[in-house]
Amino acid sequence: MPSWRLRDHQHSALARCAKRQCRDALYEKVRQAALQHPTSGYRLLYQELKAQGEEIGLHKIRVALGELHLHPPLPRKTRKPSPKVSAPQDWPEGRRVQIDATRLS
């Protein structure tokens, strides 16, 4: 590995640590808000944190929720029930006549 890469890595260690600590503090705030409001998405968490005076952007909240695996479950789509199948003997009289007439023609 080139020496200049090692040197740059060593010189940026303090900045990396500060950035990591800032990110961890942000994630902790988002985690606390998400645990207080488990069904809220990132938009409602943004409003909640903004009301508390935190200046966190929507994108950072979404990224933090993804990293912490705290996204609320998506609402499941409901499936329409399938129509009940009935035997031809159970059909009303008019329907039987109509189908028989269709068959004859």
Q: How many residues in total does the chain contain? A: 105
Angle subtended at Cα 27 by Cα 26 and Cα 30, rounded to the nearest 5 degrees: 90
What is the structure's pLDDT at 26?
Answer: 94
Is 84 strand, coil or helix?
A: coil
- The model scores a pTM over 0.85: no
pLDDT at 91 over 90: no
Q: Give pLDDT tens digits for 52-83.
A: 998 899 999 999 999 999 887 777 888 888 88
Q: Give pLDDT tens digits for 9-21.
A: 888 989 999 999 9
Residue 70: burial class (beta carbons within 10 Å; 0-12, 13-18, 19+): middle
Q: Give pLDDT tens digits for 11-47.
A: 898 999 999 999 999 999 999 999 999 888 899 999 9
What is the structure's pLDDT at 100?
Answer: 54
What is the structure's pLDDT at 93?
Answer: 76
